[in-house]
Amino acid sequence: MEGTGLGLAVVKQLIDIMGGKVGVKSKPGEGSTFWIELQQCRNQLDIIQEEASLNQHAVIHDQTGTVLYIEDNMPNIELVKEIMETKRKGINLVIHMQGNGVMEKVIETKPSLILLDLNLPDKHGKDILIELRENDTTKNIPVIVISADAMPNQISNLKALGAKNYLTKPIEIKSFLAAIDDIIK
């Protein structure tokens, strides 16, 4: 099926905006191969470490407490671990990688704050939030939802269910730290 070639023009514009290159290799009778080249993005962990070394004499955050992070994605876990280890050293980060067993983990760790991913392999984060809010032991523990879903109705629904805050992925480090600092003083 032949097209108008409009898609390639759109790709070219987008690649140019991102400072990249686009090209084509074509052989009559065999077809064409299109390629794009983009600059490699800086790793967020490298940025955190760089900022930490530049800010060695910056404001000291001496909060203490336990944060329970309910997340199944290892890159997200590693990022949050690195942020906490370099920026909030006094806070104990506990990881729980599934929806099942959350209530037991909360009761065991007695967190000051819960970070909650919505898309867990065995249970939706919304159901966990409802469960936390309905339990007398856990209903007052602040919960920050962290999700790639940035739809306004999703955010307002979860806040109405009792989420203290809602952060979108990819995590923006300054907003993440501000949200934690707002809860753990």
Q: Report, as an integer, the average pLDDT of 74-80.
A: 92
Query: Does 113 reside within a domain?
Result: yes
What's the CA angle centered on 167, arms 132 and 39, to 5 degrees? 145
Q: Any idea what the CATH number is for the domain that residue 166 is in?
A: 3.40.50.2300
Question: Does residue 146 sit within a domain?
Answer: yes
Q: Which residue has the higher pLDDT, 2 or 102?
A: 102
Domain encompassing residue 156: 44-54+61-183
Cis peptide before 170 (omega within 30 of 0): yes
pLDDT digits 0-9 by tens, 14-41: 888 778 888 888 888 888 888 888 877 6
Kindly list the distances between the CA atom of residue 51 and the CA atoms of 1, 58, 146, in Å, as whole numbers in the listed order. 51, 10, 23
* In a shared domain, residues 16 and 48: no
Nearest one of 123, 109, 116, 122 to 159, comparing CA atoms: 116
β-partners of residue 95 are: 69
How many structural domains are present in the chain?
Answer: 2
Assess contact for 173 and 83: CB atoms under 8 A.
Answer: yes
Q: Are 16 and 77 contained in the same domain?
A: no
Residue 138 lies in a domain: yes
Verify that 87 and 177 share a domain, yes or no: yes
Q: 93 and 173 in one domain?
A: yes
Please state the rounded mean pLDDT for residues 45-64.
Answer: 60
pLDDT tens-digit readout, 98-111: 999 999 999 999 99
Sequence letter at residue 143: V
Are 28 and 50 contained in the same domain?
no
Do 74 and 135 share a domain, yes or no? yes
* Residue 1 within a domain: no
Q: Which residue has the higher pLDDT, 35 or 124?
A: 124
Q: Please say whether the beta carbons of 84 and 92 come within 8 A.
A: no
User: HEC states along 102-131?
Assistant: HHHHHHHHCCCEEEEECECCCCEHHHHHHH
Q: What does the pLDDT read at residue 163?
A: 98
Instruction: Give the integer Cα–Cα distance in Å for 170 and 12.
Output: 25
Beta bridge partners of 92: 66
Residues 17 and 75 in one domain: no
Whether residue 109 sits in one domain with residue 19: no
Cα distance between residue 12 and residue 19, in whole Å: 10
Q: What pTM was computed for the model? A: 0.71
Rounded CA-CA distance 159/153 in Å is 10
Percent of the chain topping pLDDT 90 = 57
In a domain, 163, yes or no: yes
